[in-house]
Amino acid sequence: MIKRILVTGGAGFLGSHLCERLLTDGHEVVCVDNYFTGSKKNITHLLRNPSFELIRHDVTFPLYIEVDEIYNLACPASPVHYQYDPVQTTKTSVHGAINMLGLAKRVKAKILQASTSEVYGDPEVHPQPESYWGRVNPIGIRSCYDEGKRCAETLFFDYHRQHHLEIKVARIFNTYGPRMHPNDGRVVSNFIVQALQGKDITIFGDGRQTRSFCYVDDLINGFVRLMNTDPEFIGPVNLGNPCEFTMIELANKIIELTDSKSKVTFKNLPQDDPKQRKPNIELAKEKLDWEPTVKLEDGLQKTIEYFKGVI
Q: Are 52 and 23 in contact (CB under 8 A)?
A: yes
Catalytic residue among 82, 145, 176, 215: 145
For the question of residue 176 being annotated catalytic, the response is no
Cα angle: 204, vertex 209, 215; to 5 degrees: 95
State how far the Cα of 294 lies from the Cα of 217, in Å rounded to an integer.
8
Q: Are 115 and 170 in contact (CB under 8 A)?
A: yes
Give 216's DSSP letter. Answer: H
Q: Are 119 and 149 in contact (CB under 8 A)?
A: yes
Give 92's DSSP letter. Answer: H
Q: How many CA atoms lie within 13 A of 54 on its CB side?
A: 21
The H-assigned helical ranges of 25-85 are: 79-82
3-state secondary structure of 215: strand
Q: Are 60 and 91 in contact (CB under 8 A)?
A: yes
Distance of CA 284 to the CA centre of its chain: 16
Q: How many CA atoms lie within 13 A of 235 on its CB side?
A: 31
State how far the Cα of 221 lies from the Cα of 176, in Å rounded to an integer.
14
Q: How many CA atoms lie within 13 A of 132 on its CB side?
A: 22
3-state secondary structure of 96: helix
Give 152's DSSP letter. Answer: H
Task: List, by residue number, the catalytic residues.
Answer: 145
